[in-house]
Structure 1
Amino acid sequence: MQKTFLLGLALVMTGTVSSAAAQSLTGAGASFPYPLYSKMFAEYRKDTGVSVNYQSVGSGAGQKQITERTVDFAGSDNPMSDEAMKAAPGRLLHVPTAIGAVVPAYNVPGVTQPLKFTGRVLADIYLGKIRTWNDKAITALNPGVTLPGLPITAVRRSDGSGTTYVFADYLSKVSNEWKNKVGVGNSLQWPTGTGAKGNDGVAGVVKSTPGAIGYVELVYAKQNKLPYGSVRNRAGKDVLADNGPAAAAAQGVVIPADTRVSLTNSANAGAYPIASFTYVIFYKEQKYGNRTQAQAKALKNLLSWMVTTGQGYNEALDYARLPSTVASKARNIINSMTYGGGKL
């Protein structure tokens, strides 16, 4: 009887440990979705009791941490390349959680209406070719606006950044000079500019520096009360970022089954041209290290909630919801997760 009691106690204790482990999940990566994830995870804890500790350290760091299996999931605004995923010890999956817009936020004293930009002008600013706000390339786009001869301080990310990747991906599509001289990546060899860490860091430098311009996710411009400009899209329309134009960037785009795709420079006439999915990245096979099945199930439940109920928090925080077809693909990917080879 004593052995039976001890065995029963051991089983109860094991279940308790597994349950406790499942009450906490960790993630790290992109600052782009951090305002949204902060809200989502706070609400998720209220609903389920499961806490999610997400560290806003940049997409590059998030990709590194999931590769090293030090977090349950990573956040990234750009999908990992095939080559980068080969470095991981298991198969990685990507699930989009929102569509966000990267905007040119600026601090130009005396200018009260939104400025207009083209991709070529933005590229030339960050190439160091346009150096003052009254440069003819900017004034030509903004007739009737008195622009000062103030030097431009181009603010960019100093950390490995998915926001940088999205911005550079767009610039490479509209400027051959940018494509050939700088290219695309989470970290770049910048021709000019002042570096800052995270979307919040870039926004902070822009806010405190007259003459500055920086690329940030839309919500960071709004939270910091920074003006931001419209960007001319492929159809020749000057579009100011908002949920509708960001969502339009995904319309007409063929979304592959693994959802890894670029949305920048959309051909859709109503689309904002610097938009992107933001992703969570995790392992298909969840049995690794000392992970329990309860922990794996908790991650699956969280991800499923993020692409269904959690979508209700997107628009209030200036992120577009996932299109229904994309949400369906996301659910299929999440449902493919396994534990020990079996369905989770």
Structure 2
Amino acid sequence: MQSVRWVVRAALAACATLVLAACSGGGDADSEAATGADLVIRGAGATFPKPLYEKWIEVYGSETPDVAFRYAGVGSGKGIAMFLAGKDPAGEVFGGAEIDFGASDAAMSDADLKKVGERGAVMVPMTGGMVVLAYNLPGVEQLTLSRAAIEGIFSGDIKTWRDERIAATNPDLDLPNKSITPVVRRDSSGTTFIITSHLAEAFPAWREGPGIGKQIDWPASAMEVNYNEGVAQRVKVSEGSIGYMEYQFAKRLGLPMATLQNKAGEYVEPTAAAGSAGLGSAPEVPDDLRVFVPDPPGADAYPIVGYTWLLLYARYPEVARADAIKGAVLWGLTEGQPIAEEMGYIPLPAEMVRLARAKVEAIQ
């Protein structure tokens, strides 16, 4: 056990370089050589949990560099594609070197799981989070949006801030007579999967129209950018805009976040308690640990929540590589959870932790 913990701390220490460059998704041999590590483990995928991984590295980043983790924040869709290929086929991430794990906020489909082959795949949820709607309306500190308003904004049906569906829930606000600019994801995104799953569950017409997916066709009025941080930055500099992003990205930039109506008809702010209530309404956890809660039913539940998963191989070619990955993931599932909660992520329920640990411990 002591050796596993040593590997974990070494891995986390060397991760500092990787996360600072996660936005660009790059990596090269020179930067890896600079770590002095005997073992380099590479992964790529979701930007949703990136701030949490950065914090973990900050806390445990002063240990030996014998093992280095490198992670490229390239979005959930590309993370799945790279995991299936074992590398970035285009050669843009890590110079085309092999990767050891992926990450996605949308898990993997049955069809994708069949493509993994004899190495097998294990999907492990690491934390949960809230997708918030952050906006840029000078002078408006508290915006309240109904379900109909959310759907109208992102379908392009609501075009101005004075639309009656927005004004109805904000009677005391002097809303500007200004066009709304929805800011959305261009890249293949698990965050997009979470919000479109919510909209499709709440509005059957959305399922038949824009649909559910990591990438969809947005209305012409939308401004498309890459990554969670890209959406947050664009909202920050674009007056009249509103965009969806993981809670931590809005919090970091000090963006105001809308209070949203949930399935029970209540208006709920994005708080840790509301997020936990949302994920806590999930059904029984299946054996593959894929749990989705597109429209939580509880009166106290924040309405747009989801898990984020690591995509691991069931079998690795080297014992040291498997041990380093297993040790790091087990740490995240246990000692890393309080840090997640402090940052505004939703810590995993105890039963999910138990089931996830069993999956990780069985990796070879």
Q: TM-score, normalised by structure 1?
A: 0.87
Unaligned ranges ≥5, structure 2: 1-35, 88-98
| Alignment partner, residue 12 of structure 1 | none
Q: What's the CA shift string for 1:190-222, capped at 9, x where partnerless?
A: 123111110110111111111000001001111
Give structure 1 stretches of 5+ with no counterpart: 1-19, 339-344
Instruction: Tell me the secondary structure at the aligned position of residue 201 of structure 1.
Output: helix
Which amino acid is 1:187 matched to?
Answer: Q
Shift of 1:126: 1.3
Mapped contact 1:41–1:52 kept (Cα < 8 A): no
- TM-fit CA distance, 1:67: 0.8
Structure 1 partner of 2:223: 194
One of 41, 57, 60 as aligned partner of 2:74: 57
- CA pair 26-330 structure 1, distance change in 2 beyond 3 A: same
**Following TM superposition, by how much is the alpha carbon of 1:88 offset from its aligned partner in structure 2, in angstroms?**
2.0
Matched-pair contact (CA < 8 Å) for 1:97–1:278: yes
1:126 aligns with 2:154: yes
2:332 equivalent to 1:315:
no
SS in 2 for 1:278: strand
Tell me which residue corresponds to 1:9.
none
The secondary structure found in structure 2 opposite 1:46 is coil
Aligned-CA RMSD value: 1.6
Corresponding residue number in structure 2 for 1:220? 249
Indicate whether 1:152 and 2:152 are aligned: no
Task: State the match for 2:309 in structure 1.
Answer: 279
Q: Is the 8 A contact 1:243 1:315 kept in 2?
A: yes
Deviation at 1:48, TM superposition (A): 6.2
Matches of 1:21 and 1:200 in 2, distance apart?
29
Which of 212, 217, 221 is the matching residue for 1:184? Answer: 212
In the alignment, what sits opposite 1:236? 265
> What is the Cα deviation at residue 47 of structure 1?
5.1
Task: Quote the offset at 1:79 in angstroms.
Answer: 1.1
What amino acid does structure 1 have at the position aligned with 2:286? P
Deviation at 1:44, TM superposition (A): 4.2
Pick from 289, 301, 318 the counterpart of residue 259 of structure 1.
Answer: 289
Q: Residues 334 and 129 of structure 1: is their aligned pair in 2 closer, same or farther, counting only changes over 3 Å?
A: same
Provide the C-alpha distance between the structure 2 equivalents of 1:299 and 1:158, rounded to a whole number of angstroms. Answer: 31
Structure 2 letter corresponding to 1:77? D
Q: How many Å separate the matches in 1 of 2:37 and 2:237?
A: 43
Q: Does 2:60 align with 1:32? A: no
Confirm or deny: 8 A CA contact 2:250 2:257 kept in the other structure: yes
Show the counterpart of 1:105: 134
Q: Is the 8 A contact 1:21 1:294 kept in 2?
A: no
Q: Is the 8 A contact 2:37 2:68 kept in 1?
A: no
TM-superposed CA distance for 1:21, in Å, is 6.8
1:46 aligns with 2:62: yes
- Give the SS at the match of 1:207: helix
Amino acid aligned to 1:39: K
**Amino acid of the structure 1 residue aligned with 2:278:** A
Partner letter of residue 174 of structure 2?
T
| Map of 2:23 onto structure 1 | none
Once residues 257 and 232 of structure 2 are traced to their aligned partners in structure 1, the CA distance between those partners, rounded to angstroms, is 11
Distance 1:328 1:175, change over 3 A: same
CA 1:48–1:99 in 2, change beyond 3 Å: closer, same or farther?
farther
SS at match of 1:249: helix
Bigger Cα Rg: 1
**Could you tell which deviates more after superposition, 86-95 or 97-106?**
86-95
- What is the rounded CA distance, in whole Å, between the counterparts of 1:51 and 1:317 in structure 2? 24
Deviation of the 1:230 alpha carbon: 1.1
Distance in 2, matches of 1:24 and 1:270, equals: 44
Query: Aligned partners of 2:256, 2:38: CA distance in 1, in Å?
Result: 42
Q: Identical aligned pairs, as a percentage?
A: 36
Answer yes or no: is the 8 Å Cα contact 1:105–1:213 preserved in 2: yes
* Corresponding residue of 2:363: 337
Residues 156-165 or 23-32, more deviating: 23-32
Q: d(CA) in 2 for partners of 1:46 and 1:269?
A: 44
SS of equivalent residue, structure 1 residue 148? coil
Q: Distance in 1 between matches of 2:227 and 2:355?
A: 29
Distance 1:171 1:229 in 2: 16
Moved over 6 A (4+): none
